């Protein structure tokens, strides 16, 4: 049953990764402008620089 300890650690760690990803996406303003990104990706000439 000691496998359970590892399993718990792994599962919480995986969930924590997703939480970290979510917090990162909020912090880097990815929820600020959802419409704009969908348009920007269609421009095909030069790349728009990151701010």
Partner 1 sequence: MLLAKEPSTTDIPMPKSRMANICYHCGAPCITANIAIAEKLFCCEGCKLVFEILNERDLCDYYKLQTHPGLSQIKTIRNDKYTYLDNEAIAKKLYKFTDGNNTIVTFYIPGVHCSSCMWLLEHMNRLKPGIAESRLNFTTKEVTIHFAKDEISLRQLVELLATIGYEPYIDLDDSSQEQAKIFNKEKLYKLGIAGFCFGNIMMMSFPEYFSQHLGMEHQYAQLFRILNLLLSIPVFFYSASEFYISAWKGLKQKMLNIDAPIVLALIITYSRSIYEIATGTGSGYLDSMSGIVFFMLVGRVVQERTYRSISFHRDYKSYFPIAVSVLTTEGMESKNIQDLKEKDVVQLHNDEIIPADAIIISGRAKIDYSFVTGESEPVTVNTGEMLYAGGKQVGEQIIIEIIKPVAGSYLTSLWNHHAFTKNKAEENNENSAVHILSRYFTYILFTLAAITAIYWGIHDTARILPSVSAMLIVACPCALLLSSTYTNGNLLRIFSNNGLFLRDAPVIEQMGSIDHIVFDKTGTLTKGGGKMATAGHQLSEEEKEWLYNVVQSSQHPHSKELTKYLGYYESVPITGWREVAGQGIEAYASGNKIKVGSAAFIGLEEDQNENASLFVRINNKVSAYYLLPVLRDEIPQIIPQLNQDYTLSLLSGDNDRQKPLLRSLFGGKSDLIFEQKPIDKLRYIERLQYEGKKVLMIGDGLNDAGALQQSNVGITLADDINNFTPACDAILDAQKFQFLPSLLRLAKAQKKIVLMSFTISVLYNIIGLSIAMKGIMSPMIAAILMPVSTLSIVLITTGASSMLARHFGLSLKSL
- Polymer length in residues for the chain: 51
Q: Of residues 4-43, which lie at the interface with partner 1 (CB under 8 A)? A: 4, 8, 11-12, 15-16, 18-19, 22-23, 26-27, 31-36, 39-40, 42-43
CB of 13 to partner 1, least distance (A): 11
Helical residues (DSSP H) of 1-51, grouped into ranges: 3-27, 34-40
Look up tokens 């912090």; give the residue: 27
User: Contact positions toward partner 1, by CB under 8 A?
Assistant: 1, 4, 8, 11-12, 15-16, 18-19, 22-23, 26-27, 31-36, 39-40, 42-43, 45, 48-49, 51
């Amino acid at each position: 049953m000691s496998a359970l300890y590892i399993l718990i650690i792994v599962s919480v760690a995986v969930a924590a990764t997703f939480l970290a990803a979510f917090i990162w996406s909020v912090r880097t303003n990815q929820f600020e402008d959802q419409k704009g990104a969908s348009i920007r990706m269609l421009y095909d000439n030069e790349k728009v620089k990151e701010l």
